[in-house]
Amino acid sequence: MAELIANNKARCVERQSGTRGVYAVEYDGVRYYVIFDKTTQQIATFLSPEQGRTHELPTLLDGVYALEKDKQ
């Protein structure tokens, strides 16, 4: 996965700092979200699917949460 990111075959969905970012990586047909450190060229951590979705679709999820609150 680190090689896919280093070779620009993954999409950066959020920058966390000058050296780290959240990347969506397709691997064996599954989308994973990882924190990648450019300095070390290594994956620092994996995100849970829920955390990954909030990085991928923050505006859509905000709308869903607002609708849920309105129903209560």
Q: How far apart are CA 31 and CA 22, in angstroms?
A: 12
pTM of the model: 0.68
Q: How far apart are CA 56 and CA 34, in angstroms?
A: 12
Tell me the domain boundaries of the chain: 2-71
pLDDT in tens, 4-55: 999 999 988 888 888 998 888 888 888 888 899 999 999 998 887 777 777 6
Q: Strand 30-37 to strand 42-46: parallel, antiparallel, or no bridges (unpaired)? A: antiparallel
| Biggest distance spanned by C-alpha atoms of the chain | 47
Per DSSP, the three-state class of 20 is strand
